[in-house]
Amino acid sequence: MKLTGLSQVHQTYLVGNLALTNPVYYHRLSLMTHKFMSSLPEYAAMHKAGAMYYKQLIVQAKIFAYSDVFALFALVSFFMIPLGFLLKVNLKKS
């Protein structure tokens, strides 16, 4: 599976937490919206706050995807390195 595919899988897992029914997300979104309302209109502040959280979601999904790929390579290396010691060496001089 490609890195982008893994990132999208993690996005679908994480986006479930970004619902207005989640009280923690709703509270932080309203705090961020009020913070942006000092310099922007209400609609633009709401849009910017949502965009900031979406950007963080994408970053976290990419980090999880990279950690999955790293874990896969570590697992493959864990099984492949001992195979090098099990191979017979042919030292015939010609």
Residue 55 confidence (pLDDT): 95
Buried b or exposed e, range 14-50, using 16+ CB within 10 angstroms: eeeeeeeeeeeeeeebeebbeebeeeeeeeebbebbe
The pTM of this model reads 0.77
Residue 75 confidence (pLDDT): 94
What is the residue extent of each domain of the chain?
Answer: 3-86
Residue 31 confidence (pLDDT): 95
Residue 94 confidence (pLDDT): 62
Alpha helix stretches (DSSP H) within the chain = 3-15, 23-36, 42-86
Question: CA 55 from chain center: how many Å?
Answer: 11
pLDDT digits (tens, 9 = 90+) for 32-83: 999 999 999 999 999 999 999 999 999 999 999 999 999 999 999 998 988 8
* 8 A C-beta contact, residue 8 and residue 61: yes
* 8 A C-beta contact, residue 5 and residue 64: no
